[in-house]
Amino acid sequence: MTSGLRFGPLGHEALHLCIDMQQLFDRGAPWAMPWMARVLPTVHEIASHHAARTVFTRFMPPRQPRDMPGAWQRYYERWANVTLAQLDPALLDLAPPLQALCPPARVLDKAVYSPWTEGHLDRMLAGSGINTLVITGGETDVCVLATVMGAVDRGFRVVLVEDAMCSSNDTTHDALLSLYRSRFGAQIETADAVSVLLNWDPPG
C-alpha cells in the first residue's frame, strides 16, 4: 500500500472537489465531525491556491422526511432536527473561510451522499477537459466514499488528499483509506497536501 502521486504531477485538467465542508458538520452542529476544524486550514490552503478550479458540494436536507424517497424517509425521521423545517438554514453554508472563495470557486448542492446521482456534477464537467479530481472534505466513509466511487466509474483520475479529509469515526476513516490504497491502486492515489500543492501546476 503506497501513497503519493504515482501517476505524475497535476495539471490544468485537474479540479479540486471539496465535499460538504459545511457548518452543519462543524463543532456543536447536529452532524459534527470532531476533527473537521483540524483539516479545514488544509482544505482552505488547497482551495485558495486553485479557487477557480474548485467546486464545493453542500449536502441539502429535505424540508420534511416525506419529501425524500424510500429509506431516506426513515433516515430523516431519525434526524428530524436536520430537516429544513427545523434546522437553522445558516448551518447549510460552507465554513466561513471557504465561503470567502466563492466566486471564483463554485458551489454544487446535492440531496444525497453522491454528487453524481442527480446529474449536476456530470453536467458541470461535460466538455470541460477535466480528467482528474483532487478530493477533500468529509465524511471519508460516507459522502467522500460515494463521490470517489462515482468518479472511478466515470474514469477520472482520483487523488485523495489524506490530511484534508475527515470523518466522525476514526476507525472507518482509516479503514477507507486502507481500502482505497489496497483495492483501487490503479485508479486512486492518496497524497498529503504538501505533495499535491508542490506537484500541481499553478493557476494560469
Q: Is 27 helix (H, G, I), strand (E, B) or coil?
A: coil
Q: What is the pTM of this model?
A: 0.95
User: Does residue 177 sit within a domain?
Assistant: yes
User: Does residue 76 sit within a domain?
Assistant: yes
Q: What does the pLDDT profile of the chain (204 residues) look like in tens digits?
A: 456 899 999 999 999 999 999 999 999 898 999 889 999 999 999 999 999 999 999 999 999 999 999 999 999 999 999 999 999 999 999 999 999 999 999 999 999 999 999 999 999 999 999 999 999 999 999 999 999 999 999 999 999 999 999 988 889 999 999 998 889 989 999 999 999 999 998 765
Contact 87, 60 (CB under 8 A): no
Residue numbers of the domain that contains 69: 14-198
Cell of 181: 490504497
Give the number of domains in the chain: 1
